[in-house]
Chain A
């Protein structure tokens, strides 16, 4: 298993954190992981993304110029990252906020109403959990759902851990 993943969206959608969640879950299953966030001025203008590599083998280059998986939470991220996905790769997009359909036919594209699922559980802030739940269902070899849930306790700051019940509900709801 070797996946090179981009998670992208608005600042505040929790994309950096979603990437970290995957890393901690996979790391605890003894896989190699790396995570690079976009930072500083790149973040101005309100977009954020992270490059994540998860692998059975030691990771050489942590950069992700051509992701095997792209998770996009808003339209600008779809526009930016859809063309970069490796042929045969996977694109998960947040169809709650993205109206247009992906154009590529040489990759698997999966829409998920991340915001709607999150809101149904009483919070708009867990949309990132929905896409991670979906990814876990499609690519269980990255990490088990159990590991992802356990990783929440590491990745979420003590202050926000009270929301973990909601996070877990959304993860599971989207895990089909």
Chain B
């Protein structure tokens, strides 16, 4: 077939490496990676960007991003980001973290990077579980949700209620942008992309700290099919974790 008259209307972003990811079918990580790569391309900052990988299923994100990348120990990505950014303020530094990474082991770093108003962008993947280690309770695990370490369901009287990251950080003065989005359907995925773009633009303009929470899926550890998992985000997570912008200064 003659193809030379066709023009590309849809292509892999330059910022994304042409590689099959290790994510399970229906996992939200892959979708957010793609959105991030598109944003990096659209803002033309591939050659300035640095991705900081968390410890979690997305630990290999630096292998999928066609720009600089850095490992951090579990929960410490914001501290590593701070170090990188303070040395080279012109770099675009993105700290990508899971819910265990950001709201359990790394809560202190997460709060303090925001409180300092560090000029970086955080993408926070809330999938209500520890994906990588095989489905243990996360700080964001829903009430009554059964996990490997809540075999009788999460009991808030025992282990507390699920933590709302955006609302928590919204008590601080410094952050300039806080938004919660999701990727459970196409419309919301577009909104997620817009939020990520805003967060990175803020950084480029030197405005300060941006935090984008993405309600995501983990079909494997939830024991669901991909579509069921998407529905579960909409029906179970969204009512507890309301979508929307919390701050846009």
Contact = CB atoms under 8 A, between A and B. Distances in A.
Interface of A: 40, 44-45
- Tell me if B's interface is mostly helix, strand, loop or mixed: loop
B19 interface: no
Contacts of A45: 22
A45 B23 CA distance: 9
Contacts of B22: 44-45
Contacts of A44: 22
Q: State which size class the interface on B falls in.
A: under 10
Interface string B132-165: 0010000000000000000000000000000000
Interface of B: 22, 134
A11 to B, nearest CB: 10
A70 to B, nearest CB: 26
A66 B134 CA distance: 30
A40 B130 CA distance: 13
Top 3 closest pairs, chain A to chain B, by CB: A44-B22, A45-B22, A40-B134
A40 B134 CA distance: 8
B224 to A, nearest CB: 15
A45 B22 CA distance: 7
B129 to A, nearest CB: 16
3 contacts: A40-B134, A44-B22, A45-B22
Contacts of A40: 134
Nearest to A44: B22
B178 to A, nearest CB: 33
A44 to B, nearest CB: 5
B244 to A, nearest CB: 35
Nearest to B134: A40
A40 B59 CA distance: 14
A48 to B, nearest CB: 14
Nearest to A43: B134
Nearest to A45: B22
A16 to B, nearest CB: 14
Nearest to A39: B134
B60 to A, nearest CB: 10
Nearest to A40: B134
Contacts of B134: 40
B136 to A, nearest CB: 13
A136 to B, nearest CB: 32
A169 B81 CA distance: 59
A44 B134 CA distance: 11
Nearest to B57: A44
Nearest to A46: B24
Nearest to B133: A40
B138 to A, nearest CB: 18
A105 to B, nearest CB: 37
B144 to A, nearest CB: 19
B84 to A, nearest CB: 27
A44 B22 CA distance: 7
Nearest to B59: A41
B147 to A, nearest CB: 17
A112 to B, nearest CB: 30
A64 B134 CA distance: 26
